[in-house]
Amino acid sequence: MQKATFAAGCFWGVEATFRALPGVISTRVGYTGGKTEDPTYKEVCTDRTGHAEAVEVTYDPAKISYNDLLKVFWENHDPTQLNRQGPDWGTQYRSAIFYHSSEQQAAAQASKEALGKAHRYSKPIVTQIVAAATFHQAEDYHQQYLEKKGLATCHIKA
């Protein structure tokens, strides 16, 4: 099994999207890329901890590739919005790929460059590609939130 970590706005819809993919073993939402130790949702929402709302995906590379996960990431948010997705704004809603290996870093960079060269967007892609940092699991009520509430989605499609 391998891990992949993505930030694409509010983590509820992002998690639901990845959970539905064959080959994804598990997901968990949380906070990463910031400076506060063991941040809470309330702290992250102040936009002062530096964390992004993110989804950690555990997947079976024999059933789904990292490139397939990247494709889903790009297709399910607007990577040109700096520190926001739709009505949600702040650095916690930034677009970011947190890579766990040099192979993931290279694949993420190549996919970002290819998307830019395809001229799909009229604005530049602002997605960060950074090394995975400590992942702080979000509070239990955030895990599989949409499933618990009987909702289908809440994220912005690109």
Give the per-residue pLDDT at 158: 47
Residue 137: beta bridge partners? 30
What pTM did the predictor assign?
0.91
Give the per-residue pLDDT at 140: 80
Task: Set out the domains of the chain in order of their start, with CATH numbers.
Answer: 2-149 (3.30.1060.10)
Give the per-residue pLDDT at 24: 98
Q: What is the pLDDT along the chain (158 residues), one digit of tens a residue?
A: 999 999 999 888 899 999 999 999 999 999 999 999 999 999 999 999 999 999 999 999 999 999 999 999 999 999 999 999 988 899 999 999 999 999 999 999 999 999 999 999 999 999 999 999 999 999 887 787 677 766 666 655 54
Catalytic residue among 4, 7, 8, 10: 10
Three-state helix/strand/coil letters over the chain: CEEEEEEECCHHHHHHHHHCCCCEEEEEEEEECCCCCCCCHHHHCCCCCCCEEEEEEEECCCCCCHHHHHHHHHHCCCCCCCCEECCEECHHHCEEEEECCHHHHHHHHHHHHHHHHCCCCCCCCCCEEEECCCCEECCHHHCCHHHHHCCCCCCCCC
Rounded to 5 degrees, what angle do the CA atoms 112, 114, 120 make? 90
Give the per-residue pLDDT at 149: 66
| Catalytic (active site) residue 45 | no
Give the per-residue pLDDT at 75: 94
